[in-house]
Amino acid sequence: MDRPSAAPRTAVALTDDRATDPRVTGRKAAMLAQLLKSGFPCAGGMVIPAWIHHHRQGRAKTGSDDGASLADLQRALDEITDVYRTDLLAVRSSSTAEDMAEASYAGLYTSALDVGGAEALRAAVLKCWASAGHAALSQYKTFTELPPMAVLVQRMLEPDAAGAAFVTNPEGGATTAVSVSAVRGRGDRLMQGETTADEWTVTISAATCVRKPYDAITSDQAVAIADLTRQVSARLSCRAEIEWALLDGRITLLQARPTTAVDKHAVAWPTPTRGEWRRDIRLGEWLPEPVTPLFATWFLPTVDLRFRRAQWQHSGVLVPKPSYRLVHGWYYHSPLGERRSAALLEGMLTHPVFASAMLAGRRWPSITNRIVISKETAALENNTLSRRALLGSVATGFNGMSEQSVVSFINRAIELVGDYLWPMFLVGGSAWRAEQALARYYRKTLLPDLEEPYYGLLVDRTQAKHVARHSVSTLDWYRPTLGEVSDDFRPEPRSLADNDDADRLKELCLSVLARHKTAPQSFNRLLALARGTARLRQRHTDNLTEPWPILRQALHRLGTVLTEKGVLDHAEHVHFLTYQELSAALAQRSPADRQEQIAHRTSAWAQQRTLRPPLSLGTAACLLPLLLGRPLVEADGRTSDDVLEGIGVSPGVATGRARLVDHPAHAEVAAGDVLVVRSLVPALAPLIARAGAVAADMGSVAAHMSVIAREYGVPAVVALHSVTQAVRDGDVITVDGTTGRVHRRGPLL
């Protein structure tokens, strides 16, 4: 690859005839140049040709670099700055091996945005060059020689809206359906997986809005973007993916490449090992999206080890290997792991008193409370005191602490959280057993005379007035806590009934018992036990994430250190390192730049978030219901095309506009809207208070946020399994929290 002898300029404009040759401008820039030449509305730009980088590689390999390659680079930079002068620029990689049909290499090469000034432009280009040798390229192909890289420089745009679009897997050979994502303003946060987007599916006959949190584009604009995507596909003779921007009503094509991603509906979900693995138990309800690398390699292994150790010590159930697996980044848990029923039988024989108390508790929950739960409640209180003492030791922050001290603090906090989980889950299970005992009594003795659900007896609206700052949308540290994203974290409940509703229902129950001449002692005892354990469960569940704001500060401190060392571009990127990489980078004086690897991982994580993981994988052990106290049979969540059936956890009926919410920070939920979510996480509490109703893929009657929904008086249905897939953002739907059904065709007649 030699320098052209007759080239009038070193830099190559996209309008230049040479720009269409990928050997000169790389595949990304050459594809834009080809489309621009064919009349497509592409953004212009200039390219530092690949031969300059190729010469630089060759001279560096032989040790004969006399600076000539950098002189060539400087000539190209001078020509570019002469054209753009004071403009902010986007500097993008354009390798000769990039954006191919068999591999896109998305996220592996470096790009830089908002580059201003000659020195910053030069540094950005050198960084693009450096990413050409990134080790992650070996995930796709082994190169005998690293491919040379051109660099595309374009003026930064400030569009009204931006996003991506791609032709989906064709059905019956017809390339017609296009998926369009859109956000307001620039699209770089969307491409990096840092925000959600409006989602449209556009066929030849219709444009359907799947979700619309931003209202970034109209249906006509979605159709126009889809048409452009199809035209690009036809021009490139492949299924294409594009990035676009909308400026003053005109669509501008920013990038185009062949689609290499696997269709999210065709992704295989293999069973990790023997047994059943579920998303809706243990930490699953707290992790409604795939986890980031640091959380996966630091928090989860430590917490799981501490939990399994406590489980073995108290119950005799030994699970020697991790009781969770990550499948495409999604958390799955199995209480018995690969050992299935053998572990449970062994535990019952080793600790017969514990086993007998737990089994008897399904029928007589007071027995479990006396033998097991009183001790576990004391353990929770002691653990809370220890955690608060630890948090108090860093009340002044982490700036004066060494990196190793910060790591030690995080390790100790994780250990305490792991020790907290075992008693917390036991107390939560005890509350569920007490509630079920009350429900059985109610159905048998009182329901024939009363039309109201039993859980109205458990509503305590005074509890709903407090929502903690440390409430989370996911346990993963990557996401901010409620106090970080909202000032409105102490909402007053919007009651749909009188505050004394629970006491009114209690009086009705007592009057029914008196009418039937039934002694009220059993009812009063069961009600007191259910109310008392429910308050315990809520208090200790609330306390679980108390360390999260300070843990996030500690991690930000480590990220800042690595940014100063040149390992990361931004402190928050620390979440996309593994724990081993973090430790090594902190220990080394001159650690390697990890930014290309970070870009690859954020891209992969963004792809994983679009998947729809099944609720369970594998087959349950036959004795597992004895351990959990409930059958683990997955319903299909559907009774007809228009009706989804789940579990009603808060009574009442409400009709409203569906709002699909991935994260509270990005939510736009108006009063009366129906909140449609994967899981009812604590940070959703302010939105629940505002919503007309709630529908969730996962959850149970006893789940923490189901309790919150009842306290706010908001109709709610959980365990619908597929409501986030079956309902589109903006649909008018009806949620019946009494029957546990969601009607997808508007109000009930």
pLDDT digits (tens, 9 = 90+) for 117-148: 899 999 999 888 877 664 334 444 444 456 78
CA distance 684 to 689: 9
Element (H, E) at 178: strand 178-184
- Beta bridge partner(s), residue 277: 617
Question: Strands 647-650, 330-333: parallel, antiparallel or unpaired by DSSP?
Answer: unpaired
The residues near 390 (Cβ < 8 Å, ≥ 6 apart) are 409, 412, 413, 416, 547
Give the residue carrying structure tokens 């640091």.
294
pLDDT attached to residue 307? 93
CA distance 162 to 662: 20
pLDDT attached to residue 273? 81
- Beta bridge partner(s), residue 631: none
Phi, psi (rounded to 5 degrees) for 115? -85, 120
- Biggest alpha carbon–alpha carbon distance for the chain: 106
The residues near 541 (Cβ < 8 Å, ≥ 6 apart) are 424, 428, 704
How far does CA 289 lie from the centroid of its chain?
Answer: 3
Name the residue among 263, 257, 259 with its Cα closest to residue 244: 257
Length of the chain: 749
Name the residue among 269, 266, 267, 245 with its Cα closest to residue 255: 245
Phi, psi (rounded to 5 degrees) for 235? -65, -35
Q: What does the block give as tokens for 137?
A: 């390229």
Element (H, E) at 718: strand 716-718
Which CA distances in Å does 429 have to 107, 373, 421, 422, 707? 44, 10, 12, 11, 14
Q: What does the block give as tokens for 442?
A: 């109610």
C-beta of residue 519 within 8 angstroms of C-beta of residue 420: no
- Beta bridge partner(s), residue 333: 278, 324
Residues of the chain whose pLDDT is less than 70? 1-8, 59-69, 97-109, 132-146, 169-176, 189-196, 237, 259-266, 338-341, 460-466, 486-501, 600, 603, 620-641, 663-667, 702-704, 746-749
CA distance 629 to 362: 7
How far does CA 298 lie from the centroid of its chain?
Answer: 18
Q: CA angle 645-646-652, nearest 5°?
A: 90
What is the end-to-end Cα distance of the chain in Å, rounded?
73
CA distance 207 to 209: 7
The residues near 602 (Cβ < 8 Å, ≥ 6 apart) are 107, 192, 193, 194, 573, 576
- The C-alpha torsion from 309 through 311 and 312 to 314, rounded to 10°, is 120
Q: Is the dihedral of CA 282, 286, 291, 293 positive or negative?
A: negative
pLDDT attached to residue 531? 87
pLDDT attached to residue 636? 44
C-beta of residue 336 within 8 angstroms of C-beta of residue 321: no
Helix, strand counts (H, E) of the chain = 23, 23
Give the residue carrying structure tokens 């893929």.
697
Question: Strands 732-736, 653-660: parallel, antiparallel or unpaired by DSSP?
Answer: antiparallel
pLDDT tens digits for 636-682? 444 556 889 888 888 888 999 998 887 666 667 888 899 998 887 87
Q: Is the dihedral of CA 125, 130, 133, 139 positive or negative?
A: negative
Which CA distances in Å does 583 have to 297, 587, 713? 12, 6, 48
For 687-712, give the secondary structure using H, E and C: HHHHCCEEEECCCCCCCHHHHHHHHH
For 551-581, give the secondary structure using H, E and C: HHHHHHHHHHHHHHCCCCCCHHHHHHCCHHH
Q: Any idea what DSSP says for residue 641?
A: S
pTM of the model: 0.66
Helix axes 704-712, 521-543, angle to 10 degrees: 110
**Which amino acid, one-letter code, is at 239?**
R
CA distance 690 to 742: 19
pLDDT attached to residue 68? 63
CA distance 704 to 691: 17
What is the side-by-side strand order in the sheet with 161-167? 207-211, 198-202, 178-184, 161-167, 240-247, 250-258
SS3 402: coil
CA distance 466 to 715: 20
Name the residue among 367, 283, 282, 704 with its Cα closest to residue 535: 704
pLDDT attached to residue 597? 78
Element (H, E) at 406: helix 403-441
CA distance 515 to 513: 5
Which CA distances in Å does 714 have to 140, 498, 676, 703, 735? 50, 13, 13, 15, 10
Q: Is the dihedral of CA 465, 468, 469, 472 positive or negative?
A: negative
